[in-house]
């Protein structure tokens, strides 16, 4: 009798574990499910807002949040070739906003938004938001608006591991340097190294390949992007670690959409203090940069 009861208890526990297991596996896919279950398995505290207004309600009615992000930046936005899931800190920030709207992290439809097209995809309505290592600046604010910042990066330099000639931005004079068109990285290089003719590709990952094979001497963009790329090739590449700009990352959205901007800013303020920002960091870029930089404050301009 006693043995039988123990066997039943063991069987029920095993079943409970199996059910929990199913829930978490489902979350790793981009399937749907109940909001509460999803939030528990992601470990986030954030809950859905109780009332939504204007454009935010319209996103809820549409049933999904369309987010432009990078697909080739380890740590911030990287599409897993096996699961197709987009992984990284930017992707997690998008999932947190999805929780705030829908009560579930899985209502995000990610679209690739490379550096050169970010303003364009917001302006033509292809996406609701761009969360893509996207520096807030006045030139971009002429075309779109930004919520945030939610992170602060700084521009740095990536070189081959055996390089001993490039130790700071001024050493880039006369060198073959790769970056992307329409990035603040290109503009900053032009400002800091007069006469530099930087080469541009439409992917920092491709620039890094070019540094590895000797096509370029260096790749210059935000330090966290570079650290993500080095984490994939630690024996061949290194970051100089002399940041020379500040790059506050914002969430791009349609110009004049104050309802969506304040909603996203409120969500950011909440995740800065409830521990969710730190959890998102720890499971993404925090894997190669455990000490997260200080959180910025939201700028409600
Ligand atoms: N944060 C910089 C920018 O928005 C460089 C990184 C990128 O191109 O995504 O231009």
Name the band, by pLDDT with cuts 50, 70 and 90, for residue 33: very low
pLDDT score at 183:
98
CB of 40 closer than 8 Å to CB of 26: no
User: Quick check: 30 pLDDT over 90?
Assistant: no
**Distance, CA 41 to ligand 1 centroid (Å)?**
31
User: Quick check: 197 pLDDT over 60?
Assistant: yes
Which ligand 1 atom is at minimum distance from the Cα of 182?
10
**Distance, CA 110 to ligand 1 centroid (Å)?**
18
pLDDT score at 18:
33
pLDDT score at 41:
66
pLDDT digits (tens, 9 = 90+) for 159-178: 999 999 999 999 999 999 99
User: Quick check: 11 pLDDT over 70?
Assistant: no
Average pLDDT for the chain: 89
Which ligand 1 atom is at minimum distance from the Cα of 133?
9
For residues 95-108, average pLDDT: 98
Pocket test for ligand 1, best of 221, 249, 285, 296 (most atoms within 8 A of CB): 221
Question: Which residue minimizes the CA distance to atom 10 of ligand 1?
Answer: 183
Which ligand 1 atom is at minimum distance from the Cα of 247?
1
**Percent of the chain residues topping a pLDDT of 90:** 84
Name the band, by pLDDT with cuts 50, 70 and 90, for residue 277: very high
pTM of the model: 0.87
User: Quick check: 35 pLDDT over 50?
Assistant: no
Higher per-residue pLDDT: 7 or 96: 96
**Distance, CA 140 to ligand 1 centroid (Å)?**
12
**Percent of the chain residues topping a pLDDT of 70:** 86
**Distance, CA 248 to ligand 1 centroid (Å)?**
10
Pocket test for ligand 1, best of 184, 189, 225, 243 (most atoms within 8 A of CB): 184
**Distance, CA 272 to ligand 1 centroid (Å)?**
22
pLDDT score at 296:
96
pLDDT digits (tens, 9 = 90+) for 36-87: 444 556 799 999 999 999 999 999 999 999 999 999 999 999 999 999 999 9
For residues 100-124, average pLDDT: 98
**Distance, CA 53 to ligand 1 centroid (Å)?**
31
């Amino acid at each position: 009798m006693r043995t039988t009861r123990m066997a039943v208890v063991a069987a029920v526990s095993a079943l409970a574990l199996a059910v929990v297991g199913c829930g978490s596996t489902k979350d790793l896919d981009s399937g749907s499910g109940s909001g509460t279950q999803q939030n528990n398995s992601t470990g986030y505290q954030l809950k859905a807002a109780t009332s939504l207004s204007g454009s935010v309600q319209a996103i809820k009615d549409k049933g999904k949040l369309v987010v432009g992000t990078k697909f080739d930046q380890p740590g911030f936005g990287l599409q897993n070739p096996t699961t197709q899931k987009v992984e990284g800190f930017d992707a997690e920030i998008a999932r947190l906003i999805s929780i705030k709207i829908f009560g579930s992290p899985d209502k995000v439809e990610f679209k690739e938004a490379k550096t050169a097209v970010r303003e364009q995809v917001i302006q033509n309505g292809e996406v609701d938001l761009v969360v893509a290592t996207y520096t807030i600046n006045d030139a971009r604010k002429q075309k779109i608006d930004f919520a945030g910042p939610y992170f602060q990066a700084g521009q740095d330099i990536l070189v081959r591991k055996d390089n001993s000639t490039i130790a700071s931005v001024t050493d880039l004079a006369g060198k073959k340097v790769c970056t992307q068109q329409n990035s603040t990285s290109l503009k900053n290089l032009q400002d800091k190294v007069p006469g530099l003719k930087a080469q541009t590709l439409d992917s920092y990952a491709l620039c890094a390949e070019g540094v590895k094979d000797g096509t370029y001497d260096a790749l210059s963009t935000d330090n966290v992007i570079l650290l993500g790329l080095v984490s994939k090739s630690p024996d061949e590449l290194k970051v100089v670690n002399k940041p020379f700009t500040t790059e506050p990352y914002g969430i791009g959205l349609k110009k004049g959409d104050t309802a969506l901007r304040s909603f996203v800013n409120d969500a950011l303020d909440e995740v800065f203090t409830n521990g969710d920002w730190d959890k998102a960091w720890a499971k993404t870029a925090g894997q190669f940069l455990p000490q997260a930089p200080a959180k910025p404050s939201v700028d409600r301009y």
